[in-house]
Amino acid sequence: MPESLEITLPALHRGRARVLAPCHLSLAPGEVVALVGPNGAGKTTLLQAIAGLAPERARLCLGGRALDRAEIGFLPQAFAVRAGLSVLDCLLLGQREALGLRVAPRLIAEAEALLCQLGLADLADRAMHDLSGGQQQRVLIAQRLFRRPKLLALDEPTSALDLHHQLEVMALLRTQAQTTSAPVLAALHDLSLAARYADRVLVLAGGQIEADGAPEAVLTPERLAQHWRIAPEILRARDGKPVIVPHLSPALVPDR
Ligand SMILES: Nc1ncnc2c1ncn2[C@@H]1O[C@H](COP(=O)(O)OP(=O)(O)OP(=O)(O)O)[C@@H](O)[C@H]1O
């Protein structure tokens, strides 16, 4: 039976400032967890530490075994692909350890199937540097999925995507998490998207994980006002999930 992924993080610093207090995260098999918080709260810092890209290292443990950095599918916030390699080649690089002089037809078929799932099949032969930002982002997400990591750690994976592709990517992440049991931890600014697709929401604020729980329990008007400095209107979608409509309120403190 799949076990939870246990992540232990030391205090994280950027420059001289302490960004986040030490914390422990337990991610259940197949769980989709949204990491939310205002600008500068430490979402990128936390994801980089998990991915082994920060000076301080996280400890990741799955079923009593320490996870290797190569087993984490990390997508950074900033990406600009200048490489001339094709979309299909980019995807195949996700499984680079399995590549030889000849690429197994099975691997190519799997990569093509994933491109189809993400509506990218028509772009398979296009050069990465000729794609739009949103198309590149979808290919890079597909590459991380193709790697079949034990954890997907994604920093704003929908930042360049139109509304259709935001939903498509989030739905695919959910399906993949459930079928592979690998949890997804994704930093998201769109709180409605987080509420709709995440099993759990972690709120980073004030240098710590300030709240952790079901979207409805965590995304309260008080918390949104306090940390995002908005006056929220919380509606309900057809499926009962919260939809957050933000309003500026003159009563809330001005930008610092
Ligand atoms: N290289 C750096 N040197 C000094 N401080 C940094 C550095 N990188 C980030 N910081 C600071 O660390 C804090 C956390 O930044 P981080 O990028 O993790 O926040 P974030 O929640 O991802 O923000 P955003 O939503 O804007 O992407 C911020 O106050 C930021 O200014």
Atom of ligand 1 at shortest range from CA of 156 = 27
Q: What is the pLDDT of residue 81?
A: 76
Q: Using the atom order of ligand 1, give the atom closest to the CA of residue 38.
A: 25
Distances (CA, A) of 70 to 60, 74, 97, 205, 252: 12, 9, 10, 29, 44
- Write down the pLDDT at residue 249: 78
> If you measure from the C-alpha of residue 14 to the centroid of ligand 1, how many angstroms do you get, rounded to a whole number?
7
Q: Which atom of ligand 1 is nearest to the CA of 48?
A: 18
Evaluate if pTM is beyond 0.90. yes
Q: Are 231 and 247 in contact (CB under 8 A)?
A: yes
What torsion, rounded to 10 degrees, do the Cα atoms 241, 154, 24, 65 define?
Answer: 120
Residue nearest to atom 10 of ligand 1 (CA): 14
* Ligand 1 atom nearest residue 42's Cα: 18
Confidence class of residue 227 from pLDDT cuts 50, 70 and 90?
very high
CA separation for the pair 54, 64 (Å, rounded): 23
Which residues, listed in sequence order, are joined to residue 185 by a DSSP beta bridge? 33, 153
Residue nearest to atom 1 of ligand 1 (CA): 14
Q: Residue 42 C-alpha to ligand 1 middle, in angstroms?
A: 6
What residues does ligand 1 touch, defined as CB less than 6 Å away? 14-15, 19, 37, 39-45, 77
- Side chain identity, residue 50: I
Best of 19, 156, 256 to mutate for ligand 1, by most ligand atoms within 8 A of CB?
19
Question: Under a CB-based contact definition with an 8 Å cutoff, are residues 37 and 203 in contact?
Answer: yes
The mean predicted confidence, pLDDT, of the chain is 92
CA of 120 to the centre of ligand 1 (A): 32
Question: Which atom of ligand 1 lies closest to the CA of 17?
Answer: 5
Residue 98 has pLDDT above 70, yes or no: no
pLDDT score for 216: 94
Measure 195 CA to ligand 1 centroid, in angstroms: 24
pLDDT digits (tens, 9 = 90+) for 55-75: 998 999 999 999 998 999 999
Query: Taking every pair of C-alpha atoms in the chain, what is the biggest distance, in angstroms?
Result: 64
Check residues 254 and 235 and name the one with the higher pLDDT. 235
Distance 99 CA to ligand 1 centre (A): 36
Question: Which residue is closest in CA terms to ligand 1's atom 30?
Answer: 40
DSSP 123: G
Residue 101 has pLDDT above 90, yes or no: no
Tokens 């919260």 -> residue: 242
**Separation CA 140–CA 142 (nearest Å):** 5
Which pLDDT score, from 0 to 100, does residue 248 have? 92
Q: Average pLDDT, stretch 95-124?
A: 85
**Mean pLDDT across 32-40:** 97
15 CA: nearest ligand 1 atom: 4
* SS3 of 175-237: HHHHHHCCCEEEECCCHHHHHHHCCEEEEEECCEEEEEECHHHHCCHHHHHHHHCCEEEEEEC
Per-residue model confidence as pLDDT tens digits over 72-91:
999 998 877 777 899 999 99
Supply the pLDDT for residue 84: 81
Q: What is the pLDDT of residues 128-155, one digit of tens each?
A: 999 999 999 999 999 999 999 999 999 9
User: Which runs of consecutive H residues, i.e. helices, occur in 25-146?
Assistant: 43-50, 87-92, 105-117, 133-146
Q: Which residue's alpha carbon is at the smallest distance from atom 16 of ligand 1?
A: 42
Residue 100 has what pLDDT? Answer: 66
| Domains observed in the chain | 5-247 (3.40.50.300)
Q: What angle do CA 203, 73, 179 make, to 5 degrees?
A: 85
